[in-house]
């Protein structure tokens, strides 16, 4: 298995999935600083894991937490210091991990002779296992993301078990910066063992930027981009056309025909846009608008606009330009620096300027749709 190369500008590395599940392995106090089996910088993965979990929720996926949940006396403690005794402070999830966001919590190592490193050995309060959850997906293509503590023990066991417990429709993906190892050496060995078994090693930024995979949106607001019929309705530019934009574009066409502009959009609100808007959804929306360009109806509407003296405002040459000039490509990407979406586009001013209102209005619309879905 060669090293995974993320194609920055090409096709998705692993393609589109029907469903996504993230497993956060043992992110518990005893495995973090101050705990009885502390992993160096263990708690530092919490924000990375939460970012992934939010993305999974946005994609209507499933968040699963596993926890070591040992009895006070167990042969497991012949090998290890006492840790994660059920109900103790050390067994609690690390601050920042909200158990309420989990669809399922799997407890493991509850027997008096049971080690249970793997999340596949865990059971929920209603006796479900990780295998049950995956089997419920049937033949759907499932992305199984693995994060947590520690890379060289329970994370490794869980990831390797995922390979032996699932069929070809499940891709196992290790999110390497959302996990920590007891030691760097054994951590790296564990990662290469995982890779040899066909587990993909990616970073959380790779996941959030949706360059590795996208998830077919199951429950989508009225913008059901998944259906071509619905996409047709969306591609209307006229929805975003305003008179001011047209006169500005016309001015650029007449007087600055060679001027190029770059438009970059950052979210300046308090909310992280990515918690509400899928990058893949935004990209396909803008691609669909770009593919269509101005429709016949839109061009006739513009042609029909008249000034107070009854003359046409826009010349035939300008209309011809709009009819024959494609809108430039818009790129939607994840910027790890700001931990949010950045949207940019560049091209000749007269045509590129149309994107400004289109992008603003569509992002706002999708934000509110996502917001209504998330809250
Ligand atoms: Zn244990």
Per-chain residues with Cβ under 5 A from ion ligand 1: 68
How many whole angstroms from 76 Cα to the centroid of ligand 1?
A: 7
- Give 265's pLDDT tier (boundaries 50, 70, 90): confident
**In-domain check, residue 118:** yes
158 and 302 share a domain?
no
Q: Are 235 and 290 in contact (CB under 8 A)?
A: no
**In-domain check, residue 20:** yes
**In-domain check, residue 269:** yes
**In-domain check, residue 223:** no
269 and 207 share a domain?
no
How many whole angstroms from 73 Cα to the centroid of ligand 1?
A: 12
How many whole angstroms from 189 Cα to the centroid of ligand 1?
A: 21
Single pTM value for the model: 0.69
- Give 350's pLDDT tier (boundaries 50, 70, 90): very high
Catalytic residue among 19, 26, 152, 223: 26
26 assigned to active site: yes
Of the candidate ranges 2-6, 32-36, 48-52, 295-299, the one whose mean pLDDT is the lowest: 2-6
How many whole angstroms from 172 Cα to the centroid of ligand 1?
A: 23
How many whole angstroms from 95 Cα to the centroid of ligand 1?
A: 19
Task: Check residue 16 and give its pLDDT.
Answer: 85
* Residue 227 in this model has a pLDDT that exceeds 80: no
264 and 188 share a domain?
no
CA dihedral 250, 253, 259, 261 (to 10 degrees): 40
Please tell me the total count of domains within the chain: 2
Catalytic residue among 48, 54, 57, 108: 108
Helix axes 243-255, 316-324, angle to 10 degrees: 100
> Of 59, 62, 60, which is closest to residue 24 (Cα–Cα)?
62
CA distance 27 to 206: 22
Tokens matching residue 130: 């990780």
67 and 134 share a domain?
yes
Task: Please give the residue range of the domain that contains residue 181.
Answer: 15-215
For 17-30, what is the mean pLDDT? Answer: 96
Instruction: Show the 3-state SS of the chain.
Output: CCCCCCCCCCCCCCEEECEEEEEEECCEHHHCCCCCCCCCCHHHHHHHHHHHHHHHHHCCCEEEEEEECECCCCCHHHHCCCCCECCCHHHCECCCCCHHHCCEEEEECCCCCCCCCCHHHCECCCCCCHHHHHHCCCCCCEEEEEEEECHHHHHHHHHHHHHHHCCCCEEEEEEEEEEECCCHHHHHHHHHHHHHCCCEEECHHHHHCCCCEEECCCCCCCCCCCCHHHHHHHCCCHHHCCHHHHHHHHHHHHHCCCCEEEEEEECCCCCCHHHCCCHHHHHHHHHHHHHHCCCHHHHHHHHHCECCCCCECCCHHHHHHHHHCCCCCEEEEEECCCCEEEEEEEEEHHHHCHHHHHHHHHHHHHHHHHHHHHC
pLDDT digits (tens, 9 = 90+) for 75-132: 999 999 999 999 999 999 999 999 999 999 999 999 999 999 999 999 999 999 999 9
Tokens matching residue 129: 């296992």
Which of the listed residues 165, 194, 215 is the one where a domain comes to its end? Answer: 215
118 and 141 share a domain?
yes
Counting every residue written for the chain, the total comes to 375
Which of the listed residues 154, 182, 215 is the one where a domain comes to its end? Answer: 215
Cis (ω within 30 of 0) for the bond into 34? Answer: no
257 and 111 share a domain?
no
* Residue 30 in this model has a pLDDT that exceeds 70: yes
239 and 207 share a domain?
no
Q: From the CB of residue 25, how many other CB atoms can be counted at a distance below 10 Å?
A: 32
How many whole angstroms from 103 Cα to the centroid of ligand 1?
A: 22
177 and 72 share a domain?
yes
Q: Are 193 and 1 in contact (CB under 8 A)?
A: no
Which of the listed residues 156, 184, 215 is the one where a domain comes to its end? Answer: 215
How many whole angstroms from 171 Cα to the centroid of ligand 1?
A: 27
How many whole angstroms from 297 Cα to the centroid of ligand 1?
A: 67
**In-domain check, residue 78:** yes
356 and 273 share a domain?
yes
Q: Tell me, rounded to whole angstroms, the distance of Cα 354 from its chain centroid.
A: 28
pLDDT digits (tens, 9 = 90+) for 175-224: 999 999 999 999 999 999 999 999 999 998 888 877 788 887 543 333 33
Tokens matching residue 205: 């930024």
72 and 207 share a domain?
yes
Strands ordered across the beta sheet of 142-149: 104-108, 62-68, 19-25, 142-149, 170-180, 200-202
CA distance 81 to 146: 25
How many whole angstroms from 117 Cα to the centroid of ligand 1?
A: 7
| Backbone dihedral region for residue 258 (phi beyond 0: left; psi -120 to 50: alpha; all else: beta) | alpha
332 and 368 share a domain?
yes
Catalytic residue among 32, 84, 147, 154: 154
> Of 149, 73, 86, 143, which is closest to residue 112 (Cα–Cα)?
73
Tokens matching residue 73: 């006396």
**In-domain check, residue 222:** no
**In-domain check, residue 1:** no
CA distance 161 to 155: 10
CATH number at residue 58: 3.40.50.850
Q: Which segment, 3-7, 9-13, 185-189, 269-273, is predicted with the most confidence on average?
A: 185-189
154 assigned to active site: yes
CATH number at residue 294: 3.20.140.10
CA distance 41 to 104: 26
How many whole angstroms from 57 Cα to the centroid of ligand 1?
A: 28
53 and 198 share a domain?
yes
**In-domain check, residue 6:** no
């Amino acid at each position: 298995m060669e090293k995974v190369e993320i194609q920055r500008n090409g096709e998705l590395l692993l393609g589109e999935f029907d469903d996504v599940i993230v497993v956060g392995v043992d992110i518990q106090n005893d495995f973090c600083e101050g705990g009885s089996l502390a992993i160096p910088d263990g708690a530092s993965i919490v924000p990375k894991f939460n970012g992934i979990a939010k993305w999974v929720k946005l994609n209507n996926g499933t968040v699963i937490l596993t926890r070591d949940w040992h009895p006070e006396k167990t042969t497991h403690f012949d090998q290890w210091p006492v840790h994660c005794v059920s109900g103790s402070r050390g067994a609690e999830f690390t601050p920042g991990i909200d158990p309420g966001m989990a669809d399922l919590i799997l407890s493991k190592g509850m027997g008096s002779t049971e080690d249970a490193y793997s999340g596949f050995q865990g059971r929920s309060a209603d006796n479900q296992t990780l295998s049950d959850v995956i089997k419920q997906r049937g033949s759907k293509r499932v992305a199984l993301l693995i994060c947590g503590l520690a890379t060289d023990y329970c994370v490794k066991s869980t990831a390797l078990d995922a390979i032996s417990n699932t069929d070809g429709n499940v891709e196992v993906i290790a999110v390497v910066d959302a996990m920590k190892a007891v030691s760097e050496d054994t951590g790296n060995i564990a990662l290469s063992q995982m890779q040899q078994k066909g587990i993909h090693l990616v970073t959380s930024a790779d996941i959030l930027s949706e360059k590795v995979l996208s998830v077919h949106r199951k429950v989508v607001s009225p913008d059901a981009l998944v259906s071509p019929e619905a996409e047709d309705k969306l591609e209307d530019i006229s929805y975003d056309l305003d008179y001011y934009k047209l006169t500005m574009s016309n001015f650029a066409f007449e007087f600055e025909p060679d001027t190029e502009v770059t438009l970059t959009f950052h979210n300046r609100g308090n909310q992280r846009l990515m918690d509400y808007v899928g990058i893949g959804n935004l990209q396909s929306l803008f691609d669909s608008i770009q593919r269509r360009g101005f429709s016949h109806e839109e061009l006739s509407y513009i042609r029909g606009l008249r000034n107070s003296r009854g003359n046409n405002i826009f010349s035939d040459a300008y209309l011809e330009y709009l009819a024959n000039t494609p809108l430039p490509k818009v790129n939607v990407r994840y910027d790890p620096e700001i931990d949010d979406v950045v949207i940019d586009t560049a091209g000749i001013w007269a045509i590129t300027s149309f994107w400004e209102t289109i992008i603003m209005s569509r992002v706002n619309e999708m934000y509110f749709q996502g917001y209504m879905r998330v809250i």
